[in-house]
Structure 1
């Protein structure tokens, strides 16, 4: 470490890599704010690094961003109650029925974002290996250096992650079965039907609720069904929506103010992951009127 600022050449090279590095961090972390922080930290590490020790700046920066992102993922696992920032402003919420042409464009752009819901089910090492190799073509050898694994072990981790992603119902256009499962959940929640809720929930379902006070994570069908049955009675109006390309629904109170927006990930006919926004600030950013 020299403490000297990077040369003009290194600075220009970093700026040329900034968007790619931000894209890598965002795909790994699912948060624009966290991705920005990771890229800034990578810059600070470059400032402290002796440039003479860097043979390939692009590869070095990718490795640094990967390592920092992995640390963030592991921290989330250790402290799930603080796993995510308030990312509701990034949601693309559109009506599920007959979208207008401009909404079709928004949905097409959001297909990649829908993958983030699936990636949440992967472990930190699996997620990093899948994103770096399958999305950014980083060699397994380089990913292994980040994970502290051999090349062969890294290939196995990525392969395991790939199988999980493929096994999850992540349609480029929401499938009929997926919508029917979500609709069944909604009706069961509104009717307070505990048994019906259990039928559509995976035993290991994960519920992530974004509240004004932070993020609350609930695991397991029984606990999720209990909460859904209680919460369902608060809504007066409802509308089926697409949330980042994933089937969901939005609810409003009797006075027309938004109550919640939910997105669901479905696998083998059951809901495996639910993201719900109840934070009023996040809901206010969603421009979708209550049904009359």
Structure 2
């Protein structure tokens, strides 16, 4: 019986790389659909190549996906009419306590929503250098070939991106620690316990709310605690969830309609960043666990 033909072998080799390529593209683009499009475009380009002339398929595909993502980011920036400071990446909501689907777990591992928001503030070349080197350990020399920069210039891009990320985003605690803090926050908010909320919030916490009327930002523990306490007596149902792999909360109204999603970043035992989505148009793109 004849074995698989060259096309089948190439397709199988590509499928082995697909998960990693989608993870790279998702971190670059902040959108599952755009990431899938970028990887599909890489496949189309691969199909037009002489596969025998490709030394390292993994390296070749990473290079191609990287270039596609940079082009997509540049095009997005050129066409965008809204500030990138206020752009919200696509978010993934999964049930907390149950096993997430494999593909969602791949996408959300170590890429919380707050980090995606920070990554969106980087220039395309900075983002590529940071994502490929710091998240996927791609050598600077290879990254430089993708963006047409020297190795030293690429190192500088990654260093600049790293400083921006570190200045606005702190590494999150372990999932169990995150959940304990967010559960305590939810309990304190439900009871209107202002002092309890203050103990759970970093003094410089930021709360960014995406509403139907724009983005509202609250800074500092006292202001954030005051906002959280406002929901103490509202007729809503709140339940734990995972938002891009980090501890979060989903909220339903009395009519059973989804009214909000909250993502929390916990570092050193306190909440340092809260991002909420209350805009119905944005919520429509999420698929939360059942209420």
Q: 2:63 — aligned with what?
A: 63
Give, in whole Å, the separation in 1 of the partners of 2:52 and 2:100. 45
Question: Relative to 1, partners in 2 of residues 1:135 and 1:152: Cα closer, same or farther, differing over 3 Å?
Answer: same
Q: 2:31 — aligned with what?
A: 31
Shift of 1:11: 7.4
Q: 1:183 — aligned with what?
A: 185
Question: Relative to 1, partners in 2 of residues 1:220 and 1:253: Cα closer, same or farther, differing over 3 Å?
Answer: closer
165-174 vs 60-69, which moves further: 165-174
Q: 1:172 — aligned with what?
A: 174
Q: 1:139 — aligned with what?
A: 139
Shift of 1:185: 11
Shift of 1:264: 1.8
Contact 2:143 2:154 (8 Å CA) reproduced: yes
Deviations, residues 217-274 of structure 1 (Å, cap 9, x unaligned): 556649x96xx67995894124351324423222222233332121122457553351
User: What TM-score, normalized to structure 2?
Assistant: 0.64
Q: 1:16 — aligned with what?
A: 13
Shift of 1:39: 1.3
1:273-292 equivalence runs, <5 A: 273-276=274-277, 278-279=279-280, 281-282=284-285, 285-289=287-291
263-272 vs 231-240, which moves further: 231-240
Unaligned 5+ segments in structure 1 are: 1-7
Q: 1:265 — aligned with what?
A: 265
Contact 1:26 1:32 (8 Å CA) reproduced: yes
Give, in whole Å, the separation in 2 of the partners of 1:233 and 1:243. 22
Shift of 1:38: 0.5
Give, in whole Å, the separation in 2 of the partners of 1:143 and 1:63. 8
Give, in whole Å, the separation in 1 of the partners of 2:237 and 2:64. 45
Contact 1:119 1:127 (8 Å CA) reproduced: no
Secondary structure class of the residue paired with 1:175: helix
Give, in whole Å, the separation in 1 of the partners of 2:85 and 2:233. 24
1:1-292 equivalence runs, <5 A: 9=6, 12-13=9-10, 15-18=12-15, 19=18, 20-46=20-46, 56-74=56-74, 75=76, 79=82, 80=84, 83=87, 87-88=90-91, 90-94=92-96, 99=97, 103=98, 105-106=99-100, 110=105, 113=108, 115-117=110-112, 118-122=115-119, 123-124=122-123, 125-159=125-159, 161=161, 164=165, 168-175=170-177, 179=181, 183=185, 187=189, 205=206, 207=208, 209=210, 217=215, 221=219, 232=231, 235-244=234-243, 245-266=245-266, 269=270, 271-276=272-277, 278-279=279-280, 281-282=284-285, 285-289=287-291
Give, in whole Å, the separation in 2 of the partners of 1:235 and 1:221. 23
Secondary structure class of the residue paired with 1:207: strand
Unaligned 5+ segments in structure 2 are: none
Deviations, residues 44-101 of structure 1 (Å, cap 9, x unaligned): 444666779865544332112102212334435954499567x45x31132xxxx4xx
Contact 1:202 1:272 (8 Å CA) reproduced: no
Shift of 1:145: 2.3
What is the CA RMSD across the aligned residues, in angstroms? Answer: 4.8
Give, in whole Å, the separation in 1 of the partners of 2:72 and 2:135. 19
Q: 1:5 — aligned with what?
A: none
Deviations, residues 198-223 of structure 1 (Å, cap 9, x unaligned): x9588794736387x9xx5556649x
Shift of 1:275: 4.3
Give, in whole Å, the separation in 1 of the partners of 2:166 and 2:107. 13
